A and B are shown apart, each in its own frame.
Chain A
Amino acid sequence: MLSKEEFINYTKEGKILARKCTRCGHLHLVTTYFCQNCGNKGFENTVIDGKGTIVTYTIITVPPEGFEKYVPYAWVVMKVDNSELSISGFMGGIKSPADLPLGTKAKIVDHDERGIVIEKQ
């Protein structure tokens, strides 16, 4: 069975544990049980480098509980290099859009109480 724990351990190493469909090759984040492209249940684990490009983001000034001490911070969506996958997460130290132009290169660095942590490369 799949577990978030295994996925999280890879993010701490800057990696993404992805699931590759053994029938059509479609890539998914680890939590998918059936292929979203062809419905197949067979997967093989594929470890991908957690680097990519920021495709969009927001800078949060009114945070949910637990994030007060990090304000202002960004929540970002990053397109992963050399794959169709995107992954989102927390990015600290962003105060204004000037700090993070779209297209900025970034990488996964950790997972902690802030969820998946992404930093600029």
Chain B
Amino acid sequence: MEKVCVIGAGSTKYGKLADSITDIALQASVDAIESAGIEPKEIQAGYISNVFGIADKQVHLGPVIMSDLGIPEVPSLSIESACGSGSISFREAFANVAAGFYDVVLATGVEKVTHTGTEWTTTYFSYCSDFFYEGGAGASFPGLFASMARAYLAEYKATEEDLAMVAVKNHDNGMLNPKAHLRKKITVDDVLKSAVVASPLKLYDCCPFSDGASSVILCSEKFAKAHSKNYIQVIGSGRGGSPAALQGRQHITEIPSTKIASQAAYKMAGITPKDIDFAEVHDCFTIAELVDSEDLGFFEKGKAVQGVREGRTRLNGDIPINPSGGLKSKGHPIGATGIGQVAEVFDQLTGKAGERTVKDAQIGLTHNFGATGASCAVHIFKSV
């Protein structure tokens, strides 16, 4: 297997964007290409992740993006795996370079939904669930995670204040990220007093619906060494699955796909959770960050709450989680999120993260899943 590196990354701002889905996908792609210092003609394949292109009247995005990058002859794959589309697309890009099929590939994720309004997004996002049992019985996505939250709070004697602390921490980090959607300092009280969306989750427990695009350039180690001095290496990659519906899981407070994917990634990297210097995890809702950080092995089951209370996951803690602000504050353009996490790790490990830089970090992890974790990908990166 070839060693795979990331030599460039770019992102638009996340938030409510005026430009079209193809425009923002191209803006991020061009940023990534320029950041890598390569020519588009050096790209041999494109991996384009998106979920609701239909909302902006453009599906089959791959060929459109490749054409507008001036390389219409280059093959592309348009990928949908709900909110995990980005990382799962990244995995396909990684696997193809690792297998030696390509030397240089582009992975771009994009989403453009805010113009559709809350009802459209709530309804269409619910189609990502196991619809017969979940969306079709009135469960919104906040509702599904709220059900995990109620079970978690009861099982581990945690409180809604604990959940709120996750949101406060991620907003603090997002304040330091110029591209974040919600750059606003909040307090535990603000979270607790925000409107209930799906009890026990309130508005500030939920990530926003965002527009945005992120893009990265992956390549073989040989190509990276010849073309770049400032790049990162992918040292671990894992995928996993879970029963699509929450009802099919043995423990509702765990996400099996996260455990499977992360164990595979740690094994490939030859490291343990203790070796990770920081992580970008899938905090679509505050409860998800607690569950994720346990399933990823940073805390024992039920102990992530204690970690948050003690500030261990803050930017200056011993295991900083979501230095970018996470989905909660940075925003969640669902097709772009997994790629945006890789872009954040690239920035962190190549000295481009500014005020939110995690001190002395050398190894970063990304964790991104689709729906309630039915599909998942975990990647581990090392500075070179």
Contact = CB atoms under 8 A, between A and B. Distances in A.
Contact of B252 (A56, A60, A85, A96): A56
A63 B140 contact: yes
A75 B143 contact: yes
Contacts, number: 105
Contacts of A31: 132
B72 interface: no
Contacts of A89: 133, 137
Interface string A3-35: 010000000000000000000000001010000
A97 B201 CA distance: 12
B122 A58 contact: no
B119 interface: yes
Nearest to A85: B247
Contact of A55 (B138, B146, B252): B252
Given A77-B147, A88-B245, A60 B123 contact: no
B154 interface: yes
A63 B151 contact: no
Given A62-B142, A63-B122, A56 B151 contact: yes
A56 B136 CA distance: 18
Interface string A76-94: 0100000001111110000
A62 B199 CA distance: 10
8 contacts: A4-B132, A55-B252, A64-B123, A77-B247, A88-B245, A90-B137, A96-B199, A97-B150
Interface of B: 118-119, 122-123, 126, 132-140, 142-144, 146-148, 150-151, 154, 195-201, 243, 245-248, 252
Given A73-B138, A88-B139, A90-B137, 10 more contacts: A56-B148, A56-B150, A58-B146, A58-B147, A58-B201, A59-B198, A64-B140, A86-B248, A87-B247, A102-B154
